[in-house]
């Protein structure tokens, strides 16, 4: 079973991979996601996830001048949707620059160090 991954800017087709196998769909989708909705520029709370039976999508809701929308088309199982959601969520996790400990999401946007390392 093959999938398609497409990216829109506004409502215009911007980029896409038209044949992606089931074995590589998560990796290919994440590559497209990072390229067009990079966590460096788009905060997690400004990205909207939607899903249907044959598609899932992440869309930029920042209100910027060139909103992007990355969409996966194919038979979307609950397992595939969960795997992609977990991979996207992982992109927004940051680790302490000194000790490597995972920072809570509410602190990771403000600090590069965990509370313990900041006090040293």
Q: Locate tokens 């990079």: which residue?
A: 38
Of 60, 72, 45, the closest CA to residue 11 belongs to: 60
pLDDT, tens digit, 9 for 90 and up, residues 60-81: 998 888 899 999 999 999 999 9
Give the pLDDT band of residue 102 (cuts 50, 70, 90).
confident
75 contact partners, CB below 8 Å, separation of at least 6 = 1, 53, 54
Domain residue ranges in the chain = 2-93
Mean pLDDT of all residues belonging to the chain: 89
Rounded to whole angstroms, how far apart are CA atoms 68 and 90? 20
Tokens of 29: 């989708």
Q: Name the percent of the chain in helix, strand, coil, to the closest 5.
A: 30, 30, 35
């Amino acid at each position: 079973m093959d999938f398609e991954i497409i990216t829109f800017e506004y409502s215009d087709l911007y980029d896409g991979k038209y044949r992606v196998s089931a074995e590589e769909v998560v990796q290919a989708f994440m590559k497209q996601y990072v390229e067009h909705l990079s966590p460096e520029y788009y905060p997690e709370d400004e990205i909207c996830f939607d899903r249907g039976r044959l598609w899932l999508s992440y869309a930029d809701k920042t209100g910027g001048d060139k909103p992007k929308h990355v969409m996966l088309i194919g038979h979307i199982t609950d397992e595939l949707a969960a795997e992609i959601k977990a991979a996207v969520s992982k992109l927004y996790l940051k680790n302490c620059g000194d000790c490597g400990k995972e920072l809570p999401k509410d602190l990771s946007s403000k600090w590069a160090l965990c509370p313990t390392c900041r006090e040293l």
